[in-house]
Chain A
Amino acid sequence: MRKMSGAEAILECLKLEGVEVIFGLPGGVLLPLYDALYDSDIRHILVRHEQAAAHAADGYARATGRVGVCLATSGPGATNLVTGIATAYMDSVPLVAMTGQVPTNLIGKDAFQEADITGITIPITKHSYLVKDAKDLPRVFREAFHIARTGRPGPVLIDLPRDVTVGELDFSYPDLDLPGYNPTIGVHKLQIKKAAQVLMEAKRPVIYAGGGVRYASASKELLGLAEKVKAPVTTTLMGVGCFPEDNPLSLGMLGMHGTKYANYAIQESDLIVAVGARFDDRVTGKIAGFAPSATIVHIDVDPAEIGKNVKVDVPIVGDAKSALEELTEAVEPKPWSAWNDKVSAWKKDHPLSYEKSEDVIKPQMVMETIYELCPEAIIVTEVGQNQMWAAQFFTHKDPHRFISSGGLGTMGYGFPAAIGAQMARPDSTVFDIAGDGSFQMNIQELATAVLNDIPVKVAVMNNGVLGMVRQWQTLFYEKRYSGTTLGNIPDFVKVAEAYGALGLRATRPSEVEPVLKKAIDSDRPTVIDFVIPTDEMVLPMVPAGASLSETLELEG
């Protein structure tokens, strides 16, 4: 046992949890903690807006599977984290968010910069703590990291009143004692047997894999099962990359902007094996019309996901890795079947495609070129059309190399998340595939990237509009473009240069490859302004509320 201050204890806990970097921005109540940080080996990245601290910690976590950590001061600092915490919550990202708080004797008095951040974040955290006594710090941090990373991961918030950070304690790191927290480990043998049986009997199986596969690091096991029984695999946006898209069994992404062949396969299947996916409405379309003749096996670590949106025939609660491993062992190999031929024919007849052009830059072509030049790149995305093109036209093979805000769909997520991912993977090339609207939501983080030599490449698909919303106006609102025109400012090259980053622009297809090469070769943060047509759409598309069989057909 060692005597130390609350602030020192907090840093000691972070070290014991293996934290190397935290993203944050200080304020009055955090002064004691920032003072202790001054002497610490833990790296602190000063952001320009706390939202970016949360997203950066989130990107760090998604790129590594480790817990990301962010820090903000009381009141407005804490509330600025809210969007980032909600983003992490919706996508089950392990995150510890620390917030400063007014001293305990002022809590509840509407003190200067007081906000009830534990109250505000109850619906968007896995758990939260308001620490009232410095003695509790080691226990709280031990629990918070454990809860964030185990079971179905998620964000945990720790609110730290100023007096707690200056209080004294005898430091010792306690054992866990969480009687109410028992994430399922191990899987039910009988359920595996049942699943194996329906899988053996199925004539038209499809595996539907989501973000749970990435968090369980179960890509290898997924491939093992799919190849053994020759089951085609489709992934959600969160699951992109957890099955190699160049594998003949891959169907790519399903759902609203999924491939036609994935959606056709789902609709005609007689068995769906859902793994770490939650039957979200963007995936299922009209739920009543989803996979009408399929038996459903659902593997999920969170029992509450099973039976939440669809009726499940064979529920398997447990870790995706062990469940897939055991299921693979329990089945006999199956040969390539008539079903596989049918699916392959769909793939051939309805590939993802776009009209190529010699005159204007097609965003889909930019994605393909990035893949050709840098297949190992980590692709982080913003939200909107840019995000869908990035999911569709880059060939994804590794879930930790595709990072996107799926559940909340947070514009402004991509750039700070890319900064976090780059911090985690300094040797990788990290792209933020951006929209001009989304990028402007956290564009100030260029300062963070430049000052800390974080060489993220921001590829702006600059269509001058809030493209995805505008696409809906084109299709469903008679081209009444209400509130979706951004105007062609700012000049992103000049903005980049103003911050000391490298700014590049491509306006013609022939410039795409040279500009990308320049960006990839540069060791500086880079913004590339790709000027793309305003009217380019994301296709195919299943309209909201329609069933997956009802792909929108556009003429002319």
Chain B
Amino acid sequence: MKHTIAAIVENKPGVLVRIAGLFSRRGFNIDSLTVGTTDNPDYSRMTITVRADEVVLEQVTKQLNKLVNVIRVSELKPESSVGRELAIIKVNAKKETRSEIMQIVSVFRATIIDVSPKSMIVEVTGSEGKINAIERLLRQFGIMELARTGKVSMVRGSKVIKT
């Protein structure tokens, strides 16, 4: 079962190592991890997706909370939160295939951010499922390179995960 966790952490050197080390040491499986600063530059926000049952998830949360540099840990439930990933995908694009690719791009409300005689770079944001779907469709043209962020996520409504 996949879970999404948001962690507010101090923006200090070594914090990422502590967190990554904790996951590998205790055998927790990270699917993705993203980090960036928050509106307060003293704090970063991490979004971590883990594969775990309820018991392990509880351990993950508790162990993260024990780290001195971790300020707050919350689970983001899929039904009450929004989440987005971003991918940029370089695909083979010949004259003959270009329009077909552009059709797919428009259906997915993705954008083309680079074009060359032999390739195009497609930028797409959305849920993990949406990105998987466009990746699958573009595969027929030959994906030359793909870079994908992990998920960032936020609770719906006016509730916030404060620093």
A-side residues, CB < 8 A to B, are: 118-119, 122-123, 126-127, 130, 147, 178-181, 302-304, 307-308
Contact = CB atoms under 8 A, between A and B. Distances in A.
A304 B62 contact: yes
A126 B66 CA distance: 9
Nearest to B72: A180
B136 interface: no
A354 B120 CA distance: 82
Interface centre among A123, A179, A181 (most CB of B within 10 A): A179
Interface in B38-75: 55, 58-59, 62-63, 65-71
A454 to B, nearest CB: 35
B63 A304 contact: yes
B21 interface: yes
Interface of B: 9-10, 13-14, 17-18, 21, 25, 55, 58-59, 62-63, 65-71
Contacts of A180: 9-10, 67-71
17 contacts: A119-B14, A122-B17, A122-B18, A122-B21, A130-B14, A179-B10, A180-B10, A180-B68, A180-B71, A181-B68, A303-B62, A304-B59, A304-B62, A304-B65, A304-B66, A307-B59, A308-B59
A538 B119 CA distance: 73
Contacts of B68: 126-127, 147, 178, 180-181
B26 to A, nearest CB: 10
Contacts of B10: 179-180
A302 B17 contact: no
Contacts of B66: 302, 304
B21 A303 contact: no
Contacts of A307: 55, 58-59
Contacts, number: 36
Majority secondary structure of chain B interface residues (helix, strand, loop or mixed):
helix
Given A180-B68, A180-B69, A180-B71, 6 more contacts: A126-B68, A179-B10, A180-B9, A180-B70, A304-B63, A307-B55
Q: Which 6 A-B pairs have the closest CB atoms?
A: A304-B62, A127-B68, A180-B71, A181-B68, A303-B62, A180-B70
Contacts of A308: 59
Given A118-B14, A119-B17, A179 B59 contact: no
A304 B68 CA distance: 14
Nearest to A183: B66
Nearest to A182: B65
Contacts of A130: 13-14
Contact of B21 (A123, A126, A179, A302): A123
A242 to B, nearest CB: 24
Nearest to A132: B13
A123 B25 contact: yes
A178 B9 CA distance: 12
Contacts of A123: 21, 25
A464 to B, nearest CB: 38
Contacts of A126: 68
A123 B10 CA distance: 19
Contacts of B67: 180
A277 to B, nearest CB: 17
Contacts of A302: 66
Contacts of B70: 180
A299 to B, nearest CB: 16
Nearest to B67: A180
Nearest to A147: B68
Contacts of A119: 14, 17
A178 to B, nearest CB: 7
Nearest to A305: B62
B52 to A, nearest CB: 13
Contacts of A304: 59, 62-63, 65-66
Nearest to A179: B71
A237 B83 CA distance: 48
Interface centre among B13, B18, B65, B66 (most CB of A within 10 A): B66
Contacts of B62: 303-304
Contacts of B58: 307
Given A179-B71, A180-B10, A180-B70, A303 B65 contact: yes
A180 B72 CA distance: 7
Nearest to B66: A304
A147 B67 CA distance: 11
Nearest to B13: A130
A249 to B, nearest CB: 33
Contacts of A118: 14
A179 B68 CA distance: 8
